[in-house]
Amino acid sequence: MQKFKIDQDIRSMSEVRNAMASFVKQVHDTKRPLIITQHGKGVAVLMGANEFEAMQEKIEILSDVQAALNQLANGEAISHQRAKDQLLKRVSK
């Protein structure tokens, strides 16, 4: 996903409603999300399906990293050698 540009990527609900096709094209072409406002407040984000999928994958990886960090902090980790031995044991079956 590209960096958000405030002057180009914030639009009111009425603007989006009146020109949805052009905003979908903008999101597709720029790879940047579009913030949709209503009464001056952000209420929704329009983004490309590929960018959304990539974001979901990044969130999943970061969640796995956080879970691993929590396990380390709680003393639930095993040594590298033990993990390697367990993996090799599973693969050789």
Look up the pTM and report it.
Answer: 0.69
Contact 2, 29 (CB under 8 A): no
Q: What pLDDT digit, counting tens, does each position of 45-87 carry?
A: 999 999 999 999 999 999 999 999 999 899 888 888 998 999 9
The rounded distance, in Å, linking the Cα atoms of 5 and 61 is 26
CA angle 83, 85, 90 (to 5 degrees): 95
